[in-house]
Structure 1
Amino acid sequence: MKHFEMKFSAETGQSVQCSISVQDEPQLNCGATLSVHPEKKKKQGKAKKKTESKKEPKSANVENEQGKKSKEPAAAVPAPPTLSRPIQPRREVPVPDFELPETDVHLLKLAILDVDWSECTQRTDKVDLSDIPSTFINPRDMGIDLSRFFDFSETITAENQKFPVCDTEPISALLSLEHLPGVRGKWDPAVSLPPASPRLVKAVQKLSGDLESVSVSGTRIAHALAKNSTSWLAHLFASYYWQVQGNGEFALTCLKGALTFVPYSYKYCPLLSLANLLQQTGHLTEAVVVTSSALDVKRENMIVHFTLANIYCLMEVWGNAALFYQSALGFDPYHLESQNRLRTILCRNLANQMS
């Protein structure tokens, strides 16, 4: 049986060319190993811009979302010093005139996933790497008591239902990242959002803790906005509401409001949602910038690492994608989506080497 274990160079982030020998007991001989010790990184290019210069106190602990569990977790090893490489954006969106961040600084630990060639050829549940799942963070999972910001005691009837419309006047162009073309311009009416994930729909429906209709939750959000027009949580859930309804323009406006009013320690939450909107509209290089900004705030959040890996998949930067899937598994070894997507990339690379 042929056995393959993909490993990446600590200097380039690229997969190492491995020689495969078939004997009584197959052996694998690679020219490098993934297990490296952190070294001082050489700074390349200009310093990365921060989304904000002022920092708030540390954020509350966040419970990472987990997928279905596999049989065995993957082992974790230190992250390589660098994986910086040119990014090839999609042709349909002009390349923004700004320097991309060095995302390798956010790699803390990587998981190793062994792949057999026989497994690659026999698997029937092939993963479509272009089919990217949307991600989000539920503030309830961040330990925030939503009853302090929303009135769950009010009875909502069909006659008093409202829509959570966000005001554009108080939005800060600086805090809402309007220097990015995908955020600054008007929403293209020809661009439609993909259907919201079932998890996002459930998060909106269970805003009060009990399962309610999306329209009832939307009314509660509208009342919270009317009561406190600077509530970042009301703006964030208003954005979630409009994403569920498929209205990208209203979702982006409310997200800008959330970014304007959110404390720095929680900013990774709306930044992740903004990265998803940018990714869904084809602004992939900007999505990398925003996701990296989210990691500046919260480096230990598995969902943000998983999101960045997904964006690199769409950009077909496979080395970076694999590393950030490994990074996500370093935080949650049982995350099934990261395992399946990483395995698909490794099998793809193995097939290329054997051809």
Structure 2
Amino acid sequence: MNGYNTHFNKKMDNIMLAFFYVIMIFGCEKNQNKITVSVDYINTKAVSIGFESIKSVGGFNVFVEGNKDIPVLGDFTSKGDKHTFFSIIPFAANQNYELRYDQEFVTQFTIEKFNVEDAPELLAIYPSKDTVPENLLKMYFIFSRPMQEVESALNFITITNTTTDTEESIFLKLEPELWNREHTQLTLWLDPGRIKTDLIPNKEKGLPIVRVNTYEIKILESWKDYNGNNLGKEYTKTVYALPGDYHKPILADWEISSPKSNTAHPLYIYFNESLDAILAKEVIYILNSDKEVVAGTYKLTNKETVVEFYPKSNWEKGNYILEVESKLEDLAGNNLNHLFDVDLKEGHNQDDTFTITTLNFAVN
């Protein structure tokens, strides 16, 4: 009997050891799955997060709390079990984020809000003029500081047709939105499907804006920057829709006012129409007689109908070349090669070939 009890006790001891071993292993795995996120700040901007995990970094993504569809844009780096995620734009202050692995929730972290006295500003809206063609293609919004992308930008912009006293939805909702890398410049397209003739959206809804109508665009004060600060005020822009523009920009119609040599006076280029405010500063170059690019800065004036070029050094006497890339557009998206709205049924080919157009001028 004693031998039986001894055998039974040893068996029970083995079972208990196995049970405690399983509990210990489960506890270790649970601890390994528990992830703590650290947030890295640079000048009050939350730029990256760090965490440790034995899992492959390829399955991880970061999401704004409540949004499981679109992950935060950025890049992961790893060194062993230590992982770092660098967000392309700073994380939004006072906002909760979720770390997920293969879409499964892992942990949550919150971005600290720092006190910043001055409010962000809306520096400019392009086109800056208050009359636009009814086939206007896009608008630009320029801010003084990086803005949040927690919600759609369209949640902070309202459009009212004051002629008919109706709210309008003229902008195309894009995901992701078209921000520059610094997140200070937003590009909003008026729905191209409604602008291009004979497309279904155009047939069903017509143009986003209609000639002889006035539109009031409001940018709400509740829009926040990356640090959680509201815009200092509500901004309003009013535009009146003119008949559509169905003509390509023509360089032969431009005028150049040359400066005097041995001065750093600006070169003036008159377009004789308003052009795309962002492209106009990116696709125009000044070359000297040796075909070297002249260093300097560009400034758009007079409702984007004039560009002023300020050379870094004094002008030298001689011949110069003004080079313009063909992708330069007017307000309706017509570039130097083709119209934006082309009737392909009539055999018009939309030439997307990249070309350079030139004008010659002299500095005396």
TM-score bin (small chain): under 0.3
Give the TM-score of the pair, scaled to structure 2: 0.21
Question: Whose relative contact order is higher, 1 or 2, with alpha carbons under 8 Å and at least 6 apart?
Answer: 1
Larger CA Rg, structure 1 vs 2: 2
TM-score (norm 1): 0.21
